[in-house]
Structures are given as structure tokens and as C-alpha cells.
Structure 1
Amino acid sequence: MSNITALEALNAKISILLEKYDALKEENRLLKDSLRSSRETETRLRQEIVKLKEEDELKNMELEDIVSRISESMGIELEQANMVQEKLKQKAF
């Protein structure tokens, strides 16, 4: 009778361990999914940052061109044109 009781106790412990294993396995799967999603989001955001930096650089080049053309048409010296350009950049931020 004591052998059956010991066997039943062992079986119960094994069942508990299997339940914990299954729960941890599911938690691990969820964490992997979350990590994968976070990495995808990070990649997408990094690409967006690069794109925005490129757009910002193009806008700065356009501003420089506009300031240069305005200064040429008004006969303003290059130093004064650069000051105007810096003021425009500051207003953009």
C-alpha cells in the first residue's frame, strides 16, 4: 500500500512539473513573439529616422539655395546671406 502511495505522490509531482513546464514554454513563446515584434518596430523606426534625416538634409540644401538666390538678386554679401540662412534654420526648429 505504501508503494502505491509513493507512486501516486511521484505521479502528482511529475504532473505539477509538466504543468509548470507547459506554462513556462508558453511564456517563453510569448516573450519570443514580443521580442520579434520589438525588433521589427526598431528596424522600422530606424529606417524612418534615416529617411527623415535625408529629408531634413534636402530641406537644408533647398534653404541654402533659396538664400543664395535671394542674396544674388538683392546684391547682399555672402556673409549676410549666411546670417539670414542661420536665422531661417533656427526658426525651422
Structure 2
Amino acid sequence: MELSVLRAHPDGGLTFLVRMREGARAERHGHPGGEETYVLTGKLRIDRRVDASNEPQPDATLSAGEYFFAPVGEVHEGFAVEETTFLVVAPGGIARP
């Protein structure tokens, strides 16, 4: 997995690009300020999702040109179904649960 920070927000948030090889997994993480993801190329599955109340949520599979919003407090993992590049805006940054 390769990560390129495009902008570090003054309040601790981040805007970054991620490139994941096919089969790569992003470790379990949360987004205190929510997360916006836009897939540029490839296919990404956002899985093992739980909301801020720790209730399971359905997996989301995104292909190139698709957008996903994870609300404040969601925790999840990511899996590259194929080589994938995507843009992330995380206003509250990233937190390890």
C-alpha cells in the first residue's frame, strides 16, 4: 500500500491518495470526522464495518468513478479486489481502534 498526503488540514484532518496492490488490506481504522472516498481506478471493498454504536454495517464495494461516505465514528477495513487508486478526505484524520 502506498500513501501520498496531498494536504494536512490545520485541524488534524488529511486529504490523501492511496494505491493498493491487488489483494492488499488496509488495517482496521476509524475516522473521527468521517471519511469521503472516491475510487480513481480499480475496485475496493470497504468491509468489517461497524458504526459509532458498534453495530455491524454492510460491506461496500466501489469501482472506478464511485464515491463512498463513512460517517463520523465508523470503523472499517479496506481490501483491494484489484489494483486500486483512490482519493480520501478524512476531516478528523485516521484513528486506530
TM beyond 0.5: no
Structure having the higher strand fraction is 2
* Bucket of the pairwise TM-score, normalised by the shorter protein: under 0.3
Point out which structure has higher relative CO (alpha carbons under 8 A, 6+ apart): 2
Could you tell me the TM-score, scaled by structure 1's length? 0.17
Structure having the higher helix fraction is 1
